[in-house]
Structure 1
Amino acid sequence: MHSSEFSKIWHKILKDYKLHMDSNLAPTLTDAQLTVLELLQERDAMKPSDLAPHLATSPAAVTMLLDRMEKNGLIVRERDAADRRIVWVSITEVGRKEAARGLKVRSDFFAEALDPISSHNQQLLLYLMGKMAVAPAPESMTP
């Protein structure tokens, strides 16, 4: 089993990715905010509770994240006309521009990371990672 070697390489890739994203998205965007903008572009409007599973964080942290995003003009929050308890989050034009910039920053990171790998091996890597993404969770990780 090569899990130890895989773990070291995976950790380095994640660390490099985080450094790249943090430095290139700043000061107007974070990686978590980019995730929110990406989701809102795909779905128009979402409830804050629907965002939480995509961010692997608490509802309170999502609220604070949305507060910062609204303050910076990336999103707007509006109460549902029929049920005032429901809040809808949607992306602004500023948010769309920042999302495009953020997606380019992300794309540049992966293009550079994949550049030394042949096209055939990139396809193989994508296939293998796809297998990992749909693999059932180990027994120790299931509730």
Structure 2
Amino acid sequence: MTLPTPSRFEDGRTLHLAGLSNRYDLSRLTELKLLWQRFGPWLGHVPGQHGHDSYGVCYNPDEQGAFDYLAGVEVTGTTTLPEGFTTLVLAPQHYAVFEHRGSLEGIKATFDAIFTQWLPASDWRQAEAAVLERYPAGYDPAAPQALMEIWIPLERP
């Protein structure tokens, strides 16, 4: 894989997200699709949903490589959410935004290239904040030309 380059840098805003969450480690990454399958029927039907994008959020990492992952959408207000839903409020961050085109089968290689090639070669350091995946409305994870974004939080140099 060639050295990835950000499509842009962006100052994010506060995001109020709600969805289904679980704890994973690197040996269980293939199980993320099961979480999305459980969450999929809620897309467009989450109380208080704002917009049509969905988000995958990696947060609360530990030293052993485990992390919490939320499959969710942006919500407004303090709407009562379905049982089992998790809410997450992300503070504004400065992000490097990378594009991943194609099936989700190759997303691990994109993440690996960002963290093992681009980040060490850049003048940036990763901020201690959540990493986001942004999926536009109508995203098809099996489509060969599907486009999603990976948002890496950065500390300003």
Same fold per superposition (TM over 0.5): no
Structure of higher CA gyration radius:
1
TM-score (norm 1): 0.25
Higher relative contact order (CA 8 A, sep 6+): 2
| TM-score normalized by the length of structure 2 | 0.24
Which has more strand, going by share of residues?
2
